[in-house]
Chains A and B, each alone.
Chain A
Amino acid sequence: MSTHASSSSGSPLLELTGVCRSFGGVVALQPTTLAVVPGEILGLVGENGAGKSTLIRLVSGVLSPDHGEISWQGRRVALDSPRRAIDLGIATIHQELEYCGHLTVAENMLLGERWPRRWGGRIDWEAMRAEAGHRLLRAGCEVAADVEFSRLTAVEKQLVAIATALARDARLLILDEPTASLAAPDARRLIDHLKTIRDSGVAIIYVSHRLDEVLELSDRIAVLRDGELVHLSEADALDGPDLVHEMVGRPLQQVFPRTRDGSSIVDGPSSTPGNVLLRVENLSRNGMFEEVSLDVQAGEVVGLAGLVGAGRSELARAIYGLYGPDSGTMELLGRPWQPKSPWDALEAGLVYLPEERKRHGLVADHDVSSTLAIGIRDRLTRWGLVRGAEQRRRVAEMISAYDIRCSGPGQLVGTLSGGNQQKALLARWLERDPRVLILDEPTRGVDVGAKAEIHSVVDRLAAAGHGVLLISSDLPEVVGMSDRVLVMSRGRLVAECRGETQTERDVLQAAAGLSSTSREADGC
């Protein structure tokens, strides 16, 4: 934990006073008052949907506040565009860096500026390299200026982005999940670098789900929950469990009533040997996940938790057959499982609900009927022709059974609400009567009512003897719905939480890479 002397001392560089923002009547950020002083690192943490992104976007000029004031070095300012924020000295480095991969580091750094020239208007490449090299050196970044940008490692790209920002006299750096895609040594290198920058007087707002990093790096920590600033203190005053408690902030049963106990785990005819439907042994794929072993039993919901980039979706796609693993073995319904394509999975009784519903799950311009029928197209065709009457009958049944609220089978699926789109996707696959379901963020972006209905469907599926692998970043959901929760971090399975010790705190601690001692002590 940092003990930096200048924390919360001196006159504020940035001050937010009563700043709030709503979207269509939904409050994303309640009136918030917060200040950042030069030479401090302010850790900003909170669950998904807590309001962190909204706060960052307000400070970086992407959004304007509904109410409240923003002051920069004591003067009230209107941050009405990203350009304005950059001009003032506020640099935001997003998790997904934007750069021109085929240009050199020097060209990327000086992209929007005047390039040095020689007589005749010729670009002075030497001077340009020297200037970029000087800037990199000043920022303590050991990267060659004439290298193609795409050849840099992830951490080098981050460092160059920081050097570029500092070269433009940034006084406040906002870093959004900068270590999400970095391996541990690279993350360490970046953290050390940020400490040096902080010591030079630059203020940093550090947003991360990796609480160990936040605790180590920050001088102060602000916790957002449900759009409200619920905690702001010196980092020294907090430890890991305190921080998790502040982030979660309420008993689990109040936000997620458990509707099912674990008694539905059954021995069915398809569950031989034992009652394991899906078994994964030491599965690895380079750069995605390593040595993952898990099993899903009949009648069981297995939660798979972890931070963004932990490798959960990548693992699910490998099981589904979108790409093969480099090593390891899989078994489905007691038989060796080596899918060549997703079609093999569908044939074998394994379905996958993708994380990005709109991009990978739906064709927005298709109607509800086509969307539902495509999952069972092989059962609706004879001699290559669709049996129209049979399709209409089956679609009507599905709309009714899964309570898909639409004006009729002809309504475009893209015009349905998020929850009904998701129910349509679920219905499409459930009509195949799969034995194993992999649900990747099934309730992301859906309203509370639809969420409850989807939870109910998952609950019924498990009760009927199906096996469900539930991937979710929604901690209450993954803890509340699952019979046990597996936690992934940086491509590896790091913990299994079950029974009474299956709590949001334990899962979050494991996912954030905090020491396993406390989890083991708690029985996780």
Chain B
Amino acid sequence: MLSRMTAPVRRRMVWLLAGNVGLLLLIFACLMPGDTVPGAISRLGTVLVDTPRNIAPEMLAAIGLTAIIWTGAIDLSIGSVMAVGGAVFAMGYSHGAPPLVCFGSCLLAAGGLVAGNGLLARWLGIPALIVTLAGLAAYRGLALVLVNVGVPGFDGNLTVPEDIFRVPGRDWAAWFLLFAVGGAVWCELFGRLPRLWLAHGSSPAACRLHGLDLSRLAFSAFLFGGFYLGLGATLYVSNQQTIDPARMALGFELSVIAAVVLGGTNIFGGEGSFLGTLLGVVFLYLARQALIYAFDDPHARQAVEGALILGVIGFDCVLHRTAHRMEELK
């Protein structure tokens, strides 16, 4: 698998691995003052135990988005798509549907919308960026309409007190994550489609010359992305006690894109790795945890996190441009 990755992706993964270890040490150092070593280790253990639950939605959405970005497309509407998933879940819950039906409908709604984005881009022949930028506003509005119409007495948010609804997102999150990430990595290791998605992003003209159906390829990436994002939406909803479609997963797309790009996936497509995305998500999560200890002010944390994301994406663009120039010079 490593041999099929490009050198920049491999380098990025090594760097991320070292960065993650460094962040863990930083968090540990932040926990030390005022505590004993065993106490600090115990608190660090708590942070680590909570990690799968906290990162599962972002991780799954990031893997789905990675596949889409590989083809040279993007989905900017994923935060709003999750809100629609939440709204559908709320409708089912408020009408007394069993948990399985609520979660299933959430998964189908969110996944279906992402796949629908792929279809729209294919049928309308316009870039996915435009389609999903429109979806960013449209789906958020759709989520609010759905809860206002479909949830009796909805007053801005819906509380879900029953513990049974939190089992997938809280108790089973690590297992979901393990199987979903394992499946994605298996696909990358042994599947043809991920390589074709990369080929699509690398050179559509070459794919066309080899007789590949580009629109079908792009749609298959959106379908894959839809499944993972639907699963992520389900775990996200399941991990919340209240459903608030107006604020749910607001700005989620930005941090997911940042994690994907940080993981070595080229924002213009054609290059990347699911493993890199995994490390990118973990890096951003640990950085956020470290910021909690470094800054008391939540607004300052947000500002630093935003700057970090911007820096990462900007850095990748500069790297990409440099590589492109070198290619031209050759």
Contact = CB atoms under 8 A, between A and B. Distances in A.
Interface centre among A86, A111, A288, by most chain B C-beta atoms within 10 angstroms, is A111
Interface in B1-22: 3-4, 6-7
A111 B329 contact: no
Contacts of B299: none
A115 B94 CA distance: 49
| Interface SS majority for chain B | helix
Given A102-B202, A286-B329, A111 B207 contact: yes
Given A107-B199, A111-B212, A123-B190, A101 B270 contact: yes
Interface residues of A, number: 27
A98 interface: yes
Interface in B113-132: none
B202 A112 contact: no
A123 B1 CA distance: 12
Contacts of B212: 111-112
A104 interface: yes
Nearest to A153: B330
Contacts of A154: 330
Contacts of A33: none
Contacts of A101: 202-203, 270, 327
A286 B192 CA distance: 39
Contacts of A102: 6, 198, 202, 270-271
B70 to A, nearest CB: 10
A154 B330 CA distance: 8
B6 A121 contact: no
A125 B329 CA distance: 32
B203 A99 contact: yes
Nearest to A314: B329
A102 B194 CA distance: 13
A150 interface: yes
B6 A123 contact: no
B100 interface: no
B33 interface: no
B270 A121 contact: no
B218 to A, nearest CB: 15
A100 B199 contact: yes
Contact of A100 (B3, B191, B203): B203
Given A82-B209, A101-B270, A102-B271, A122 B190 contact: yes
Nearest to B186: A122
A137 B316 CA distance: 38
A103 interface: yes
Contacts of B7: 148
Interface centre among A86, A101, A115, A146, by most chain B C-beta atoms within 10 angstroms, is A101
A2 B225 CA distance: 57
A388 interface: no
Interface string A118-143: 00111101000000000000000000
Interface string A137-163: 000000000101010001000000000
Interface in B197-224: 198-199, 202-203, 205-207, 209-212
Interface in A83-111: 83, 86, 98-104, 107-108, 111
Contacts of A146: 3
Interface residues of B, number: 26
Contacts of A86: 211
Interface in B284-330: 327, 329-330
A287 interface: yes
A103 B209 contact: no
B195 interface: yes
Contacts of A107: 195, 199
A355 to B, nearest CB: 15
Contact of B206 (A100, A287, A288): A100
Given A100-B203, A102-B202, A123 B209 contact: no
A111 B192 contact: no
B323 to A, nearest CB: 9
A507 to B, nearest CB: 28
A287 B327 CA distance: 11
A111 B202 contact: no
Given A100-B207, A102-B6, A148-B6, A111 B199 contact: yes
Contacts of A115: 192
B272 to A, nearest CB: 9
B270 A100 contact: yes
A108 B211 contact: no
B313 to A, nearest CB: 19
A108 B189 CA distance: 17
Interface centre among A83, A103, A121, A125, by most chain B C-beta atoms within 10 angstroms, is A103
A104 B4 contact: yes
A428 B310 CA distance: 39
Contacts of A111: 196, 199, 206-207, 210, 212
B209 A98 contact: yes
B267 to A, nearest CB: 14
A487 to B, nearest CB: 24
A90 to B, nearest CB: 13
A122 to B, nearest CB: 4
A148 B202 CA distance: 12
Given A100-B202, A102-B270, 13 more contacts: A82-B209, A98-B205, A100-B199, A111-B207, A111-B210, A120-B190, A121-B191, A122-B189, A123-B195, A146-B3, A148-B7, A287-B329, A287-B330
26 contacts: A86-B211, A98-B209, A99-B206, A100-B198, A100-B199, A100-B203, A100-B206, A101-B202, A101-B203, A101-B270, A101-B327, A102-B198, A102-B202, A102-B270, A103-B199, A103-B202, A107-B199, A111-B196, A111-B212, A112-B210, A112-B211, A112-B212, A121-B190, A148-B7, A287-B329, A288-B329
Interface of A: 82-83, 86, 98-104, 107-108, 111-112, 115, 120-123, 125, 146, 148, 150, 154, 286-288
